[in-house]
Every structure is written in C-alpha cells, then in structure tokens.
Amino acid sequence: MMRLVTIVTLVLATAACEREQRRFTEASPASGVPQTLKMGQLEPGGSPQQVAIQSEYEENAWAISEGKRNFEWFNCVGCHAHGGGGMGPPLIDSRWIYGSEPENIFATIMQGRPNGMPAFRGRIPQQQVWQIVAYVRSIGGLTPADARSQRDDDLFYKKPEARTPQKGPEGQPGRRP
Amino acid sequence: MNWPQSMLGAAGPHAGGVESLWWLFFWITAVVYVLVIVATIVAVLRRGRPVDPRDPAASRGAGVVIASATGVTLVLLFILLISSVRTGRYSIQGLADPSHVNIKLTGNQWWWDVEYESKLASQRVQTANEIHIPTGRPVLLKLQSTDVIHSFWVPNLAGKKDLIPGHQTELWIQADRSGVFRGQCAEFCGPQHAHMALLVIAESPDKYAAWLEAQRHPAAEPPDEMAKRGRDVFLSGPCVMCHSIRGTGAGGRTAPDLTHLESRLTLAAGTIPNTPGHLAGWVTDAQGIKPGTRMPTIGINGEDLQALLKYLQALK
C-alpha cells in the first residue's frame, strides 16, 4: 500500500515539471502582433506602476535553448559573441546600458539601439524574441538556475556551458558560486 | 505522394546486390522452414515401434541423421555469411568514374540541404529535399549534419549511411532506370524524424542537364503587382531571416533555399504535397502540420498571405 502511494505521488509530481515542457503552438495561427510594450513615460490618466512582465520562458529549459539557437541563427553572436561581447557590448556582465528587465531587453531587440544595434521588429516573431530574451538573461545569470541549462537542443558533445570551470582563466582556480 | 520506397525494386547496382542477397536469404530460409515443418509433422504422425535406446544400431542411425543435419546447416550458414559479406563489401565500394556527379547533402532537423558542387561558384546549385540525378552515371554523395545524427536511406538505390555532425561520410549511388524514389531519414533525430523524407528523381541525362541549368538561374521576377507585393512581404518579414532566394536580398542559410520552390514536388521534407492550399497552410501554421519544426508561427494577415503565396508560386 505504502509503495503504491509513493508511486502515485511520484507520478503526480512529474506533472509539476514545467522545466522541460515544449509548447510548439502558442500564438494562434494568423494572429496579429499585439502591442503590450510601453514605449514612453507619458500617458493619459496618470501613470500607475507598470505591471512587471512575467516571462514563463525564463523557467523553461527548452525555451531557453530555443532562444540560444535563434541567438545564433539570427546572428546576435556576430556582435555579442556568446555573451562575451565583441563589436557589441557583452551580455554576461552586470552593466546593462538599457536595462536588464525582460521588457527592456525585448525593447532593445525590437526597436534597436543607437550605434549599431539593429531593430528586429517584424523580422522575428514575438514568441521567438521572448525566447531570446530568456536566453540573454540566462547567460547574465538573471533567470532561475534550475532552468538555466544553456544547452543546445541537439547532439551534446561538450560539457554544459553553465558548469563551473575546473580551472579558471590564466591558471587560476575555478570560481565556486 | 506514393513514390516507391522498397529495396525489392532495385534501380541501381548497389541496391541490386542487396536485393539479390534478400532473395537468397528468403529462398534458403523458406526451404529450411518447410523442411523443418514437414520433418516435425512426419515425426509426430509416424507411429513406429518403440526403439530400445540401448540398441547400438538404432542410436547409430540417429547419430548419422543429427550429424548430417548439422553439416547441412553449417554449410548453409556459411553460404549466407559469405554472400552477405560480399554484398556488404561491394556496396561500400566506390563506383569510380571520372564523370560522376558530386552532391553535398547536409542533414538538418528536419530537412535535407542539397548542394551540387562545382569548381565555378556560378555553377553551384542549392536546393532542398529533392535530388535530381542522371541515369547511368554514378553520384558521390558527401553527407554531413549540422545538429544530430541522421541517416540517408533510399532503399531503391543503396543501403543506409549515417550523417554525422562534424564528420563527412560518403556514399555512392547510381540509378539505372528513371523514376522517383522516396527516401527517409533512418536514424531517430527528434520529434519530426518521421517527417524527414527526401525524393531522388532519376531522369535521362538530357532532362537532368536541363533541370540543372534551370536551377542555376536566379529566382524569377514577380509577374504582377500582387506578386511584387508578395516579394516585399517576404523581404521585409520574418521569412528573410532564415530562407534564401537567389537574386534577391534574402540570404538566410538556416532554412531551405526557396529560389525554385515551385519546381519541387513536396513541401516540408516530403510531409505535404506542393499545392497552393498546402503551401498556404504551411506558411500560416507550420507548427500545426509538423509540431516542433523550426519554422515558427509568424502571424501574417490575410492580404499579405495571399500576396506572398502569389510570389512563392511564381518561383518556378
């Protein structure tokens, strides 16, 4: 009897695992792009505190890995590398020129920023932009650690990138969080 | 959508070897099966007199029967082994011919990228999910993968060969008669593995040369105003991020080349036939047709969709 209860509990517990859920169809086909983002401070009727955007993708490992794939496919790596930066600013440090909240990063991708960041509005479906936002925040360490696998969704022959390095740069011991 | 995909209708030398081997196995095992069943029935039905196990003559008779049956089994197994090894060796051997066609075939989740190689950049041809080959001429396939292990398998032409990320494998194929042969990815490669088919279209050398020449041309200009608008929709929307259409600004390399989309028989790697209705369905809701495919739901409005379809259908 005890064993049965344990098994049933374990089976039911798996229903709570949303980390690996794959939601392929979210936006209904042929739906327009809604305007959810506020672009300025001024608006009629006073300005109450804006409701923070909760991005479900930040807790979903598959969405983050999709964000990573699109980060490469859409050539974000061309300027930002894999977060280390190059022609564009790095994304793994704590300095965020235009804000680190999901809506800030979303706006940066959609609208572009002066001195080089292109605007991707209309070029990337909104759902994929949110996935890229989740990935960008994950490499900066801003998302929950359990979903932050930073893996590719295909053949994995390297060690996970989020793993603490055994050996730090220039022969120093690896950083332990 | 009913193209043959069977090793029993061999259209090339390698597949022919496999087919003969199959029939050899079939007939030998069929004869052995029938003999064993007949011997069992005879043994059950025969009511002989009881045999004394201590009688030396009776046990000698049984010994001879067992030894000869074992001997025949051994000989047959060796015949099967040797012919199997011979066929295997033959089918991995190259079909050396200086005039062979070189094709680079890259597996992706879940489609096939096809590139006809040439020393001249202007003579290279990029297409997807369909390989045209001339009859009677060997073709060297250089197989690669960008993500996971896939496997190339067109049973009418050759055996299987894996496509491995970071490692190029090679496979020779040759078609001796014309026809359309269906192939299928034969190594589980993710949720849409079952919808990763390709077609090999074997045709006469003249037809093949004409096809190749047509493929070398950049995309056709849009024939009317609506198609022109469709081209603008394509070039200003999300399509351009992944797809390429030679002759326009679209140069994405992560999705199938659409330069001559209308010359192909299927869409989405053999998932649906290439008809206007299916194309509209695929553009609007690819995730509904092939859940998990890399083609996202783009959210396109009706007028833009009609214009886009008009343009895509003009890509002959």
Does the pLDDT of residue A176 top 50, yes or no?
no
A36 contacts chain B (CB < 8 A): no
CA quadruple A34, A37, A42, A43: dihedral, nearest 10: 40
* Token pair 């895509």 in the structure block, residue: B312
Nearest CA in chain B to A63: B292
Residue A61 lies in a domain: yes
Give the count of domains, chain A: 1
Which structural domain, as residue segments, surrounds residue A141?
2-163
- Is B238 in Cβ contact with A25 (below 8 Å)? no
Nearest CA in chain B to A22: B292
ipTM: 0.81
Cα–Cα distance, B156 to B181 (Å, whole number): 7
The residues of B whose Cβ lies within 8 A of any Cβ of A are 109, 147-149, 165, 190-191, 236-238, 240-242, 254, 284-285, 287-288, 291-292, 296-302, 305
The rounded distance, in Å, linking the Cα atoms of B26 and A160 is 49
Nearest to A123 among B190, B241, B287 (CB): B241
CA nearest to B106, candidates B222, B196, B177: B196
Q: Which of B149, B241, B284 sits opposite A29 (nearest CB)?
A: B284
* Residue A52, in any domain of the structure: yes
Average pLDDT over residues A49-54: 63
Give SS3 for A58.
Answer: helix
pLDDT attached to residue B180: 95
* Domain membership flag for residue A89: yes
Residue % of chain A over a pLDDT of 90:
19
CB contact under 8 A, A127 and B297: yes
pLDDT value for A161: 62
**Which residues in A lie closer than 8 A to residue B238 (C-beta atoms)?**
122-125
Helix/strand number for chain B, H first, E second: 7, 12
- Distance in angstroms (rounded) separating the CA atoms of residues B281 and B259: 20
Residue A30: which CATH number?
1.10.760.10
- Flag if A29 and B285 touch (Cβ within 8 Å): yes
A123 vs B contacts (CB less than 8 Å):
237-238, 240-241
CA distance B96 to B138: 8
- Inter-chain touch A25–B302, beta carbons under 8 Å: no
Phi, psi of A139 (to 5 degrees): -75, -20
Phi (first) and psi of residue B181, to 5 degrees: -115, 135
Task: Please give the model's pTM, rounded to 2 decimal places.
Answer: 0.84
Alpha helices in chain B (DSSP H): 13-45, 56-92, 205-216, 225-236, 276-284, 286-289, 302-313
Best B254, B297, B300, B304 member to test A by mutation, with max A CBs in 10 Å, is B297
Q: Convert the pLDDT of each residue in A102-116 to its tens digit.
A: 888 998 999 999 988
On chain A, the residues whose CB falls within 8 A of the CB of B297 are: 25-27, 29, 125, 127
Question: What are the pLDDT digits (tens) for B246-259?
Answer: 999 898 889 999 99
Asked if the Cβ–Cβ distance from A154 to B242 is below 8 Å, we say: no
- Any domain includes A174: no
Q: Cα separation of B178 and B205, whole Å?
A: 10
Put simply, whether A42 touches B (Cβ < 8 Å) is: no
- The pLDDT confidence band at residue A27, using thresholds 50, 70 and 90, is low
A123 CB near a chain B CB, below 8 Å?
yes
> Which of A31, A73, A154 lies closest to B242 in CB terms?
A73
Cβ distance A25 to B291 less than 8 Å, yes or no, reads yes
Q: Give the closest-approach CA distance of A177 to chain B in angstroms.
A: 32
Q: Report how far residue B124's alpha carbon sits from residue B106's, in angstroms, rounded to the nearest whole number.
A: 15
Digitized pLDDT (tens) for each residue of chain B, 316 residues in all: 789 899 898 998 889 999 999 999 999 999 999 999 999 999 888 877 676 777 777 777 778 888 998 999 999 999 999 999 998 888 777 777 788 899 999 999 999 999 999 988 889 999 999 999 999 999 999 999 998 999 999 999 998 999 998 899 999 999 999 999 999 999 999 889 999 999 999 999 999 999 999 999 999 999 999 999 999 999 999 999 999 999 998 988 899 999 999 999 999 999 999 999 999 999 999 999 999 899 988 888 889 999 999 999 999 8
Q: Does residue A175 register a pLDDT over 90?
A: no
Q: pLDDT tens-digit profile of A117-167?
A: 999 988 998 889 999 999 999 888 888 887 776 667 776 656 666 555 555
**Is residue A83 a part of any domain in this protein?**
yes
Quick one: pLDDT at residue A169? 53
- pLDDT-derived band at A174 (thresholds 50, 70, 90) equals very low
- Greater confidence (A160 vs A21) lies with A21
**Phi and psi based region of residue A145 (left: phi greater than 0; alpha: psi -120 to 50; beta: remaining):** alpha
Q: With the CA atoms of A125, A129, A135 and A136 taken in that order, what torsion angle do they form, in degrees rounded to the nearest 10? A: 150
Per-residue DSSP letters for A64-98? Answer: HHHHHHHHHHTTTHHHHTTTT-SSSPPSSSS--TT
* A169 inside domain: no
**Whole-number Å distance between alpha carbons of B55 and A9:** 68
Say if the Cβ atoms of A30 and B238 lie within 8 Å.
no
Give backbone dihedrals phi and psi of B99, rounded to 5 degrees, phi first: -95, 20
Residues of B in contact with A158 (CB under 8 A): none
Number of A:B CB contacts under 8 A? 61
- Return the pLDDT at A3: 86
Nearest Cα to Cα of residue B294 among A102, A92, A86, A72: A72
The whole-number pLDDT of residue B55 equals: 74
Instruction: Return the beta strands (E) in A4-157 as ranges.
Output: none
pLDDT per position as a tens digit, A59-71: 888 888 899 999 9
Distance between start and end Cα atoms, chain A = 43
Chain B CB within 8 Å of residue A25 CB: yes
Query: What is the rounded radius of gyration, in angstroms, for the C-alpha atoms of chain A?
Result: 19
| Domain membership flag for residue A124 | yes
Does the beta-carbon distance from B297 to A27 stay under 8 Å?
Answer: yes
User: Is A102 inside any structural domain?
Assistant: yes
- pLDDT of the residue at B289: 93
